[in-house]
Amino acid sequence: MTATLLVSCPDRKGIVASLAQLLYGQGANILDADQHSDEVAGMFFQRIRFDATDLDRAALEVALAPLAAEFGMAYRLVYKETVRRVAIYASKLEHCLYDLLVRHRARELPCEIAMIVSNHAEPASIADHFGVPFHHLAPRDEARHFAILDDARVDLVVLARYMQILSPAFVARYPSRIINIHHSFLPAFVGANPYRQAYEKGVKMIGATSHYVTEELDQGPIIEQATVRCAHGDSIDDLVRKGRDLERHVLAAAVRWHLEDRILVYAGKTVVFD
């Protein structure tokens, strides 16, 4: 059984050695480790994956506490047996919803799909086909949203082209646990109709961006982005068709990296470990 330790703290000497010695002393075998130092911010980040088969979890937590205090370290420790429960929010556009469900069925996404939620009735047939509970709810009925999410013990909310703006109260319940796909290469063309905006500007590349949701529209920490070339002869429909291929890929990547504990958020941006 494996576990993953994610840490962030002010950068200084001795962090890597101290963490390695601590894990070794607790009987953990490090399988791989990746790290990053932000010289401008003076911050250090590391992801360590290790074999925790013979490890006393309570003893590890006790040992980590003084080390975290010494280095001013924030950390997250996750064991592989922990299966995240995901709620997918969608509207009428189905391409990202279908893609996530197919990838989950193919075991590309290590999670349980707890439910599909929509402000339209149409996705009910998709949910039925994949055997996933479906809820048709108006966006304004937040008390009902919170109730079903809490009852299903949802860990992550994925907005698969859910064309509604979440309230600050909703966002605050799931900090860095709501992932959105925006059909634009942010920070360009925020808000509605980005493909029309791109067409009117005559851009030569369009993109898609997955990001964590914050109170400020389309300004959350970016997780993944991709672009594709477009030409002067492309219509708005051509841009939409090209963009949707990007949206599927970019959203799925962000969801998978989150589920695999590869992302750390700081200062309005992310570190995404390979």
Shared domain check, 156 and 267: yes
pLDDT for the residue numbered 89: 98
Q: pLDDT tens, position by position, for the chain (274 residues)?
A: 899 999 999 999 999 999 999 999 999 999 999 999 999 999 999 999 999 998 899 999 999 999 999 999 999 999 998 899 999 999 999 999 999 999 999 999 999 999 999 999 999 999 999 999 999 999 999 999 999 999 999 999 999 999 899 999 999 999 999 999 988 766 666 766 777 777 777 777 788 999 999 998 888 999 999 998 888 888 888 888 888 999 999 999 999 999 999 999 999 999 999 9
In the chain, what is the straight-line distance between the N-terminal and C-terminal CA atoms, in Å? 20
Which of 79, 99, 125 is a domain's end point? Answer: 79
What is the reported pLDDT for 202?
Answer: 77
Same domain, 157 and 50: no
Q: Which has the closest alpha carbon to 8: 70, 65, 75?
A: 75
Beta-carbon neighbour count of residue 192 at 10 Å? 10
CATH assignment of the domain containing 261: 3.40.50.170
Question: Could you list the residue range(s) of the whole structural domain that residue 100 is in?
Answer: 84-272
pLDDT for residue 198: 72
Q: Total structural domains in the chain?
A: 2
147 CB-near residues (< 8 Å, 6+ apart): none
Examine the domain organization and report whether 118 and 199 are in the same domain: yes
218 and 110 co-located in one domain: yes
Which one of the listed residues 218, 234, 245, 261 is annotated catalytic?
218
Q: What does the pLDDT read at residue 194?
A: 76
Q: How far apart are the C-alpha atoms of 25 and 63, rounded to whole Å?
A: 10
Q: Are residues 67 and 189 in the same domain?
A: no
The rounded distance, in Å, linking the Cα atoms of 259 and 155 is: 10
103 with 39, same domain: the answer is no
Query: Do residue 122 and residue 71 come from a single domain?
Result: no
**Where does a domain end: 32, 63, 79?**
79
- Co-location of 94 and 196 in the same domain: yes
**Same structural domain for residues 36 and 160?**
no
pLDDT of residue 144: 96
Helical pair 95-105 and 236-259, crossing angle rounded to 10 deg: 40
CATH of the domain at 25: 3.30.70.260
- Whether 54 and 187 map to the same domain: the answer is no
Q: Is 218 a catalytic residue?
A: yes
End residue of a domain, out of 32, 50, 79: 79
223 vs 209: CA distance, rounded Å: 8
Tokens read off for 2: 């494996």
219-223 CB contacts, 8 Å cutoff, 24+ apart: 219/186, 219/187, 219/190, 220/180, 221/176, 221/265, 221/268, 221/269, 221/270, 222/186, 222/269, 222/270, 223/179, 223/253, 223/254, 223/257, 223/258, 223/263, 223/270, 223/272
Residues 117 and 134 in one domain: yes
How much is the pLDDT for 170?
97
Q: CA–CA separation, 52 vs 61, rounded Å?
A: 13
Instruction: Give the C-alpha distances (Å, rounded to integers) separating 95 from 122, 123, 227, 243.
Output: 13, 11, 18, 11
The answer on 185 and 97 residing in a single domain is yes
